[in-house]
């Protein structure tokens, strides 16, 4: 896919810099951007040249929300349909449902959730609406002191989207999630830091360097398969009702990794040298994805 609304740049050490690139529109979100982001995260998962991802915005904004200047249904939804929950459950992959009913932000969030690489957000300016909710499936979020956030959906007469009713309370707690959703106000980087939405607030000129350094520290000298499995296990098992499902997944993960990069890791430890891992995230162990199997 050729990208028109994002830039996809892989640096020499495997860091993917993914930039929302509609600076003349404050990187406002569109259906086209949705399709490109879904493709980019899927592509990054499969690309062994990519080890970690940093996401930022071009110009003075991260993402100012949905582009409300588009003609017709600005969210790209087909108003001729009469979808039911059964339609979504049974026909979620139907092109008509994908294009006409399923939330575009949610499709991006799910692509991030499924991603095999760590994702660091570098919030360089306004991150409002989908600009805030698309941050939630990222592993870490750093904010410029110029950053602004807002879950402003109530003021527009719409609701939370991008799977944010799942992610936001898990990050900041239910009470804080409710407050931000009800108030629908813009708030600054310091409040985001105080409430746990972002990891740190840094000077604007240092933001990308800090984000790059964090992303690289997560994967340097690490097995790509180990990182991918741990990311998926932590996200999926933390939502389980009890530890049994975690035990099952971890048992198979240990079984397979101990016979692959695990052998090299143990040998390198004994020989007091850096490990040379060879397993690739593009070839995950046979039990993966375990949650989709009977």
Model pLDDT for residues 3-47, shown as the tens digit of each residue:
999 999 999 999 999 999 999 999 999 999 999 999 999 999 999
222-259: pLDDT as tens digits: 999 999 999 999 999 998 889 999 999 999 999 999 99
Mean pLDDT, the chain, rounded, equals 95
> pLDDT band at residue 78, thresholds of 50, 70 and 90?
confident
> pLDDT band at residue 60, thresholds of 50, 70 and 90?
very high
Q: What percent of the chain has pLDDT over 70?
A: 99
> pLDDT band at residue 94, thresholds of 50, 70 and 90?
confident
Q: What are phi and psi for residue 151, nearest 5 degrees?
A: -95, 75
In total, the chain counts a number of residues equal to 294
CA distance 102 to 85: 11
Count how many Cα atoms sit within 13 Å of the Cα of residue 36 in the half-sphere of its side chain.
Answer: 17
| Residue 80 pLDDT | 86
Torsion from C-alpha of 246, 118, 112, 13, nearest 10 degrees: -140
169-214: pLDDT as tens digits: 999 999 999 999 999 999 999 999 999 999 999 999 999 999 999 9
Q: What is the mean pLDDT of residues 103-113?
A: 97
Find the range with the poorest average confidence among 21-30, 58-67, 93-102: 93-102
The pLDDT of residue 110 is above 90? yes
Domains of the chain: 6-219 (3.90.226.10), 224-292 (1.10.12.10)
| Residue 70 pLDDT | 80
> pLDDT band at residue 272, thresholds of 50, 70 and 90?
very high
CA distance 223 to 264: 10
CA distance 251 to 290: 11
The pLDDT of residue 293 is above 70? no
| Residue 71 pLDDT | 77
CA distance 25 to 23: 5
The pLDDT of residue 294 is above 80? no
CA 140 to chain CA centroid, nearest Å: 9
């Amino acid at each position: 896919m050729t990208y028109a609304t994002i830039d996809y740049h892989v640096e020499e050490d495997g860091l993917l810099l993914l930039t929302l690139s509609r600076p003349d529109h404050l990187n406002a979100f569109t259906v086209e951007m949705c399709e490109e982001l879904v493709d980019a995260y899927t592509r990054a998962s499969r690309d062994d040249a990519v080890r970690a991802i940093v996401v930022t915005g071009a110009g003075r904004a991260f993402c100012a929300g949905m582009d409300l200047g588009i003609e017709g249904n600005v969210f790209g939804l087909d108003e001729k349909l009469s979808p039911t929950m059964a339609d979504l459950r049974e026909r979620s992959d139907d092109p008509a449902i994908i294009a006409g009913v399923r939330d575009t932000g949610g499709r991006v969030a799910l692509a991030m959730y499924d991603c095999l690489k760590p994702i660091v957000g570098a919030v360089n300016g306004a991150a409002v609406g989908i600009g805030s909710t698309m941050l939630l499936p990222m592993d870490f979020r750093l904010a410029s002191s110029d950053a602004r956030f807002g879950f402003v959906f109530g003021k527009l007469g719409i609701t939370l989207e991008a799977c944010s009713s799942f992610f936001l309370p898990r990050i900041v707690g239910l009470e804080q999630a409710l407050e931000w959703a009800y108030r629908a106000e813009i708030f600054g980087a310091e409040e985001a830091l105080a409430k746990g939405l972002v990891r740190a607030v840094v000077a604007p000129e240092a933001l990308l360097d800090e984000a790059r350094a964090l992303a690289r520290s997560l994967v340097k000298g690490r097995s790509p398969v180990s990182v991918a499995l741990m990311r998926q296990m932590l996200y999926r098992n933390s939502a389980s009702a009890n530890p049994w499902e975690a035990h099952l997944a971890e048992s198979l993960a240990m079984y397979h990794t101990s016979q692959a990069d695990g052998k090299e890791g143990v040998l390198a430890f004994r020989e007091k040298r850096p490990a040379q891992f060879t397993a690739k995230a593009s070839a995950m162990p046979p039990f993966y994805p375990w949650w989709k199997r009977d």
